[in-house]
Amino acid sequence: MTKFQGNPSLEGRNATMSGENAKRPVRVRFGLSAAMLTVLALASCGSPRDGINTGSVDDYRERHPIIVTEAEHSIEIPIASGDRSLSMGARDVIRGFGQKRMAAQRGVIQVLYPQGSPNSAAARTVREQVRAELRRSGIEPGMIVEQSYQAPGGESAPIRISYVATTAMVASTCGEWPKSISPDMANRQYHNFGCAYQNNLAAQIANPADLIGPRAQTPVDAEQRSAVMKNYREKFVELKDMN
């Protein structure tokens, strides 16, 4: 250890000054920190808001809501000029459409045949087959309404089958881009976000009435409940004996 060589009086003076300097920065730093905190607190209270809320995320379910409304469901069955009977594929499509209508409601189903087209004679020939396939799907004969429509331009036209039923669907239209999808400082989603998802969800709803409210509970089946409990007890006893 090296000792200080010099005037003893200066040595004591330097030691006193070094002790004072060692304490002084601590007091100064503390005073400045308190002052800075006070200024920052006052500044934050008096500064105006910027008006941008970066935490606001809008909901795609409000922008593309699923609604329950009346809509038309239709299919078109192509008929060639030389057809004298429906193909197996056309028969399956007609029966499937009729079953879908039976599950939706009990209203009338409309069958439109082309008139004034090269295939109009073929369409009249298979009309009874169309009615037969609809009856096989469970539709009463009195609920099938037949009409003709004028084919545009004298071209071959299909047989159109349609019905109107309560349907779950999206109120807005997908594919609309009213503004750029560049980053948004307000953290908002782009307009078309969630539209396809909502449409797919609406298409999977078997009974649109489920969106309106819950269904009523069915009565309790006491006999079935007793049978289930009996089977449970028997299986429980078997497992207990095995252990």
State residue 8's pLDDT score.
46
Radius of gyration in angstroms for the set of CA atoms belonging to the chain, rounded to a whole number: 41
196-205 long-range Cβ contacts below 8 angstroms, 24+ apart: 197/60, 198/60, 198/61, 198/64, 198/65, 198/66, 198/170, 199/169, 199/170, 199/174, 201/66, 202/66, 202/168, 202/169, 202/170, 205/168
pLDDT tens digits along 29-80: 444 455 555 655 555 555 455 454 544 457 888 889 999 999 999 999 999 9
State residue 45's pLDDT score.
55
Structure tokens at 73: 């469901």
pLDDT tens digits along 131-189: 999 999 999 999 999 999 998 877 889 999 999 999 999 988 898 888 887 777 777 78
State residue 181's pLDDT score.
79
State residue 43's pLDDT score.
56
**What is the band of 11 on the pLDDT scale with cuts at 50, 70, 90?**
very low
Lowest mean pLDDT among 4-8, 43-47, 111-115, 117-121: 4-8
Q: What is the mean pLDDT of residues 24-29?
A: 44
Report the mean per-residue pLDDT for the chain.
80
> Domains (ranges, CATH) in the chain?
72-164 (3.30.1330.60)
pLDDT at 5 over 60: no
Q: Tokens 């069915």 belong to which residue?
A: 218
State residue 176's pLDDT score.
85
Q: CA 116 to CA 184: how far, in whole Å? A: 56
